[in-house]
Amino acid sequence: MSHSKYASTPQTTNLARISRLILGPCADIMRDVLLNEVPTTDLSRRVKNWIKSEKRNPLNKSQTDLLFPPQSNIYGGNYSDMDISLLYILLRNVTNLPAHNQGWGNDPDPTDRSVSANMERIRLIRNKHYGHAVEIGIPDADFQSEFMIISKIAEDVDIYFGVSKHQESVDFIKREKMDPEQEMKWIKQLTIIESLVSDVEENTREILELKRKSSVAN
């Protein structure tokens, strides 16, 4: 049996780099924005108020356990433990960030460079490549397009914070040499880590459906 189809190629390297960008700089960008909007000491209160307003817990078990460890009423997580799905949920629901011009959960206008629009773009890139990671490769043209999107997000956020660290991290990952073992590590991390949580769209659909039924009943 030939294993040539599993060999490292420029396309697998592209996917590995995108995986690193998603799990590294993109996640860090969201963490920094969340920390800027909500101090860790206030997150528990805001999450509890949000859950109360929804009349149900929109978070899945792993997300709830991270924020509120079992047998404890004290917030026990920290932003570095949170993945993109949870970060997006929190940014969308417990901060004062205004929605982008197309509304949370929708593709932002390409000309909209607001913080919320860039948070949406990260979510969409993560979903796209988590969903297509089974292809084990990204064509060069698609990689260049995705890299430019991520690079522009990093640039926008760095300007917002008055720093340059995110842009530098993105550029470093693009040019760093990667071997086949590194490639597969990052590809597997994207598929394994991201599969542990449910997407916010599913949570949102359930909430909206419950609200619709409640409205009809009343």
On whether the CB atoms of residues 68 and 44 are closer than 8 A, the answer is yes
Residue-by-residue pLDDT tens, the chain, 218 positions: 444 555 678 888 888 899 899 999 999 999 999 999 999 889 989 999 999 999 889 998 888 888 887 766 555 568 998 999 999 999 999 999 999 999 999 999 999 999 999 999 999 999 888 754 556 688 999 999 999 999 999 999 999 999 889 999 999 998 887 776 777 777 777 765 555 444 445 555 555 555 555 555 55
pTM of the model: 0.81
Angstrom distance (rounded) from CA 13 to CA 19: 10
Question: Following DSSP, what letter does each residue of 40-52 receive, concatenated?
Answer: HHHHHHHHHHHHH
Domain ranges of the chain: 8-217
What per-residue confidence (pLDDT) applies to 3? Answer: 47
Question: Following DSSP, what letter does each residue of 143-206 receive, concatenated?
Answer: HHHHHHHHHHHHHHHHHHHT--HHHHHHHHHHHS---HHHHHHHHHHHHHHHTTS--HHHHHHH
